Amino acid sequence: MSESDRTLTERLQSVSMPARKLFCVIVREAFHGPMHPKRSGTSVPAEVLEACGLDVGEFYGLLSDLAQSGLVRLSGAYPFEEIALTEEAAPAETIAERCRQETIPLEHVLAADVDLSRFGA
């Protein structure tokens, strides 16, 4: 397992399971979400909220947890906020692509305690 895999794993393990699942939605929306144009590795709250089914209060609470753990960074002011993956979370893009190719739900990898090195991160 590479150092970046370990860092991502440690940060994911530092947050709750609901926060990990939200992170998976953010990763999917950042690279394959419906809103374009946007910077690579970013998503916006509207597309994530639509995809995750959380209420706004719960969403922002979990998003705060992800930001405090160093997995995402929130920038901009409402309604133009952006959620960006941090450098430490960058391996999630490779993992998400591998999961997509192998038709494995991303949550089975990033929201579970597994060895990320199998996914080429």
The residue extents of the domains of the chain are 3-112
Partner residues linked to 83 by β-bridges: 43, 74
- Per-residue pLDDT of 32-50, as tens digits, reads 888 777 788 899 999 999 9
pLDDT of residue 45: 94
Q: What is the separation, in whole angstroms, between the first and last Cα of the chain?
A: 9
pLDDT at 120 over 70: no
Q: What is the DSSP letter of 33?
A: -
pLDDT level of residue 9 (50, 70, 90 thresholds): confident
Do the beta carbons of residue 19 and residue 65 sit within 8 Å?
Answer: yes
CATH of 3-112, one of 3.20.20.70, 1.10.3720.10, 1.10.10.10, 3.40.980.10: 1.10.10.10
pLDDT at 112 over 90: no
pLDDT of residue 33: 81
Predicted TM-score (pTM) of the model is: 0.88
Looking at the chain, the whole-number percentage of residues with pLDDT higher than 70 is: 92
Q: Over range 17-30, report the average pLDDT.
A: 95
pLDDT level of residue 121 (50, 70, 90 thresholds): low
Give the C-alpha separation, 13 to 49, whole Å: 23
pLDDT at 73 over 90: yes
